[in-house]
Amino acid sequence: MNAIWDSIVTFFVEFPWLSLLIALGIFTIFLLFRKIFITYLFKIILGLSRKTHATLLTQLLLSYEKPLRFLFVIIGARVALTYFGVEFSDNVTLMRLFNASLIILGGWGLYNYVSTHGTFMAFTKKKLQLSDDHMLLPFISNILRFVVIALTFVTVLSSFDVDVNGFIAGLGLGGLAFALAAQETVANFFGGIVIITEKPFKKGDWISSASVEGTVEDITFRSTKIRTFDDAIVVVPNKTLSNEAITNWSEMNMRRVNYSIGVGQETTRSELEHAVLEIRKLVISHPGVVTDTVMIYFDEFGETSYNIFIYYFTKTVAWSEWHDVKEEINYDILDILSKEGVSVLKPIVVFDSHEHEQHQLEKAES
């Protein structure tokens, strides 16, 4: 019992407490310097970078702000342990852990740098002339982030003398087996790439295809979510959409009005000619109509009526505004027919096949 007690006393007496205190002091100094660097020096460097308008450099500094905090901790720990007598060159495990931590910090900063909302992606968007809501931006960002994670992981393994070549070969065989087992998922993934790169539509667009019609709410690499005009969500696999003809009605530059008016057969030729001429002048002169699209003609002989063909495009594509323009013109047409003494035998028949959207589209456009 006395021998154990003597060994404990000897350990505490001979332990290099002064070196430990100095090592802890060194580590504390690094922590304080980290605080000073991040609070003052880093902001000064960042301010100088912004003044030079080097946006990519500024974003790079911002991306490494948090990794730099941990860098001071890691370096401070190594300097403190070295002073305390720990030889990193003789301790392979500690050296590998130190190198791996530096690699991880470097990968962490690059991961932040290629984020969707970072300056690098803004620079990419400008160079590729992409819109803010283009799905190619998060796609590029996700691919770059995956590459950064993969390279960081492989580099860390290399620092621990792991056979990376065998590991990569194993990943290749595993990826091949996975692709064969999930062909449908892979097909949907590449369908998503086609949709994202070819840009047939974007979020908020009103589209129609053989399988669905509605407003696009979300686009992922596997599927596209579309809200129908019945206010239901339909999830369509990208493989299906990429193989179908897609009509993007939101890309209309103008909107069609197409109908006919049946007037009484007691109408004389002169009355009919004058009515058609006045209606044509009316539609052409309306400020909401695209002038060179107007077609107003005595079209055909019906069983009990003479049919006047009305065809034009409005400048607006908004559902409610389209109705406003059409209503104004219809009222004026009624005034013309009434003034000419021409009777209307049947109601106006509209042939636009997409008028069934009703208030859901109006809500989407707002």
Q: H helices of the chain, where?
A: 2-14, 17-36, 42-51, 55-63, 65-84, 92-113, 119-128, 136-159, 164-181, 183-198, 238-242, 269-285, 319-340, 358-365
- Could you tell me if 33 and 72 are in contact, meaning their C-beta atoms sit under 8 angstroms apart? yes
- Could you tell me if 316 and 325 are in contact, meaning their C-beta atoms sit under 8 angstroms apart? yes
Integer Cα distance of 211 and 244 in angstroms: 8
pTM for the predicted model, two decimal places: 0.46
User: What's the pLDDT score for residue 13?
Assistant: 57
Integer Cα distance of 71 and 282 in angstroms: 76
Q: Which two tokens stand for residue 144?
A: 């770059």
Residue position matching structure tokens 């932040």? 112
- Could you tell me if 263 and 306 are in contact, meaning their C-beta atoms sit under 8 angstroms apart? yes
User: What's the pLDDT score for residue 288?
Assistant: 93
User: What's the pLDDT score for residue 363?
Assistant: 47
Q: In Å, what is the CA distance from 330 to each residue of 108, 192, 256, 327, 354? A: 65, 45, 15, 5, 20
Torsion of CA 69, 72, 77, 83, to 10 degrees: -170
From the centroid of its chain, how far is CA 176? 29
User: What's the pLDDT score for residue 360?
Assistant: 47
Integer Cα distance of 206 and 197 in angstroms: 19
Name the nearest CA neighbour of 219 among 135, 115, 121, 117: 135
User: What's the pLDDT score for residue 171?
Assistant: 58
Q: Which tens digits make up the pLDDT trace of 147-177?
A: 888 888 888 888 777 766 665 665 555 555 5
Could you say which residues of the chain have pLDDT below 50? 181, 348-361, 363-364, 366
User: What's the pLDDT score for residue 166?
Assistant: 61
Strands 305-314 and 255-264 come out as: antiparallel
Strands 247-248 and 206-208 come out as: antiparallel
Q: Which residues sit opposite 310 in a β-bridge? A: 259, 296
- Could you tell me if 32 and 41 are in contact, meaning their C-beta atoms sit under 8 angstroms apart? no
Task: Count other C-beta atoms under 10 Å from residue 92's C-beta.
Answer: 11
Q: How many CA atoms lie within 13 A of 26 on its CB side?
A: 17
Q: Which amino acid is it at 92?
A: V
User: What's the pLDDT score for residue 282?
Assistant: 94
